[in-house]
Amino acid sequence: AKLLAEQGHQVTLHARNADRAASAQAAIPKAKAVLIGDLSSIAETKKLAQEANAAGPFDTIIHNAGIGYGATSSRQITPDKISAVFAVNTLAPYILACLMDKPTSRLLFMSSDSHYSGDETLRNATQSHSYGDSKLHDVMLAKAFARRWEDIQVLSMHPGWVRTKMGGRAAPGGTDKPAVALADWAAGEGVLAKIKSGAFVSTSRESTSHPGADVVSKQEELLDICKRVSGIPVPGE
């Protein structure tokens, strides 16, 4: 986001609460706006979508928020009676993809190589605290929306194991490489912008995803689960 803003692009950020929004704006003073919404709440996520539409339209949307790896919230059940990991990592990007105006060019669901450990059977998906399960869901969502929205590029991505609060200090990589890759892609430049829609990518190329992610019937089952829990259908369906 910082790279894009410094390049002159209009960038709208998202933060969980007002304190985090202030920190984000201070870190990226050239950002156009910071929208606020707790993605563990279905109601707040719906409201966030409305505010995003008022702030748009957008050329590119990146669903990047996620929790996991031992965070206190990653073992919680939300007031909506679902796992916080499922709520933030799976359901929120589904709701936002359905309710936000479709971007004009590009859409990305942030995944992870942890998705290889995910359970493609989707058993008890809404109660799963597994980060791997949720990241597999993100790959499946990207593929499902790519099949529907043939006029834009939809990807899922493994940005690398990087040194962040969630990734930890032991992570071998920094944020510089994925930041450049994402900024280039968001602007429609670089290698990733030329990759076929529906692909799972690293920071530099297409990668092979979990074989279960390509099963169309399971993609549709995941969409049905998200629709049932949120009350929101995929646009036009």
pLDDT digits 0-9 by tens, 3-55: 999 999 999 999 999 999 999 999 999 999 999 999 999 999 999 999 999 99
Q: For residue 163, name the pLDDT band (cuts at 50, 70, 90).
A: low
pTM of the model: 0.94
Say if residue 185's pLDDT is above 70.
yes
Half-sphere exposure of 81 (CA within 13 A, CB side): 4
Residues labelled as active-site residues: 131, 135
Say if residue 73's pLDDT is above 70.
no
Determine the pLDDT at residue 176: 84
Cis geometry, peptide bond prior to residue 233 (ω within 30 degrees of 0): no
Cα 22 from chain centroid?
22
Q: What are the structure tokens assigned to 226, written together?
A: 């998200």
Cα 32 from chain centroid?
20
Produce one character per residue of 45-82: b if its CB has 16 or more CB atoms within 10 Å, e if not.
bbbbbebbeeeeebebbbbebbbbeeeeebebebebeb
Decide the pairing of beta strands 33-36 and 153-157.
unpaired
